[in-house]
């Protein structure tokens, strides 16, 4: 019974970690998209290219 409990807790921990990772990725992606929009609106080409590169890096 104890081995089953340990396995269940490990799986639960892994699921929680995956959910947290997804939430962090979504947060970072959303922040970068907003910054890209701002760079486009202000005509800041250097920031736009830097942010799009950063976005591509975290998506792959």
Whether 48 contacts 35, CB under 8 Å: no
**Prediction pTM value:** 0.78
1-57 pLDDT, tens digit each: 688 888 999 999 999 999 999 999 999 999 999 999 999 999 999 999 999 999 999
The predicted pLDDT at position 6 comes to 85
Strands (DSSP E) contained in 1-60 are none
CA atoms within 13 A on the CB side of 55: 17
Whether 54 contacts 36, CB under 8 Å: no
């Amino acid at each position: 019974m104890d081995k089953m409990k340990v396995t269940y807790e490990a799986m639960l921990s892994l699921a929680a970690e995956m959910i947290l990772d997804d939430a962090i990725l979504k947060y970072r992606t959303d922040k970068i998209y907003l910054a890209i929009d701002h760079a486009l609106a202000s005509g800041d080409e250097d920031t736009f290219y830097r942010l799009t590169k950063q976005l591509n890096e975290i998506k792959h």
